[in-house]
Homo-oligomer: A and B are copies of this chain.
Amino acid sequence: MKTIPIHPSHPSVPAPVDTQGSAYGRAAATSEALITGVGPGTPCGEYLRRYWQPVGVSSEVSTRPARVRILGEDLVLFRDKKGRAGLLYERCMHRGTSLFFGKVEEEGVRCCYHGWLFSVEGHCLNQPCEPEGGKSRVNARQPWYPVEERYGIVFAYMGPPDRRPVLPRYDVLEELNEGEFIEVDGTGYGGYAAPVADPHVPFHWLQNWENIVDPYHVQVLHSTFSGVQFAEGFKVMPKVEFEQVENGVIYRAYRRLDDGREMTRINAAMLPNISAIPSLDLEPTRGRMIGWHLAVDDTTMRVFFAAARTEPGRFAGVRMHNGKLWTEATPQERQDFPGDFEAQASQGRVNLHSDEHLATSDRGIGLLRRMMRQQIQKVADGGDPAGVAFNEEDALVRVRSGNFHLAPVEASA
């Protein structure tokens, strides 16, 4: 009889005897409800509804209705044969059949079941099964939201009608030079990930938007951990300065690159869910891309981008170290070389904020959340949130974003 070691290649290591820090007995983790709920009537949902939200790419909105889910509401988006985009409550007010199965005509969309016809403003224009085409149809109204199109995107206003602001303009997209145009994408996930068939991303929108004011993860995740996903220059840990501005938070990240150049990268997160991310190649230029990080519902998001370009195809996705697009990576490759999707999706469908330990490098996130709480409270108190404008003159946004040769900032790290 003898006692033998089981795995000689893994010599027995004495178990730790530390009794501190055990995972036993930790409190159940929770999300911060105030800033995460997006549905109708929730504090944050009401705040988000005070801004225009992107709902579709103009060139894709057609006479074939599309289902869209926005802020937890199920709607259908279509373009009538006069060219007007319409956004209606999905369920037909008559008997509840989806207008996704409706047929678009000159004046609106007709429900497949009993043929009620609705205009883009929800007016009922015909009820073919009713006497005289519906004697009281003028009193019928399919729930609807107003839309406007700009930069190749259809925007909707889903808030109280009497608080409707002017649809904003962004200076970097308004001022186009000869040969420039605006390229739009509604299917991708950000710089790292290629467009996918289903644009819905399975986690809370904040996890993606907070990433905008997080310059440090660029050095770790995108540059040293998983290979160079963007540009060699990001391998340098930056010195960072955060600033709260009137409509959001910006950072200035200073780097002395290996080739001797000095570079300050300015990135902006604008209320309520907008980004201005400069070029990922670190070339010195003003950032001319605007992103909208849309809450599909409490646990799902999608991203719309519009960028000034001189050549198309820039939303095709960035390739991994091994030449593959993210959409081509195996599960094993995603584990070994994670990117934004893996980092953010694995925070859960909704991050558990009580588990977090924010540090000095997370100051941008802290500032953003504080602003959100303030604006949510302001809306709950009957006010209008920061960044909304009620006339065209005030609706032009000056975008602070770009890679610049600037003096170094004095800041952390």
Contact = CB atoms under 8 A, between A and B. Distances in A.
Interface of A: 1-4, 6-7, 10-13, 15-26, 28-29, 40, 49, 58-59, 64-65, 73, 75, 79, 82-85, 88-89, 91, 93-98, 100-101, 103, 110, 112-115, 120-123, 127-131, 134, 140-152, 158-162, 164, 167, 174-177, 181-182, 216-217, 219-221, 224-226, 237, 335-336, 338, 342-344, 346-348, 351-352, 355-362, 412-413
A89 B64 CA distance: 48
Nearest to A84: B13
Contacts of A217: 113-114, 129
Nearest to A94: B357
Contacts of A361: 114, 129-130
What's the number of copies of this chain in the assembled complex? Answer: 3
B95 A356 contact: yes
Query: A-side binding surface: helix, strand, loop or mixed?
Result: loop
Contacts of A150: 6
A5 to B, nearest CB: 10
Given A6-B151, A12-B149, A112-B343, A359 B23 contact: no
A319 B113 CA distance: 19
A123 B21 CA distance: 9
A380 to B, nearest CB: 15
Given A15-B146, A220-B129, A6 B112 contact: no
A357 to B, nearest CB: 5
Contacts of A28: 40
A184 B216 CA distance: 44
Across chains A and B, which 4 residue pairs bring their CB atoms closest together, nearest first? A98-B346, A23-B143, A19-B161, A21-B141
Given A11-B83, A158-B23, A338-B101, A220 B128 contact: yes
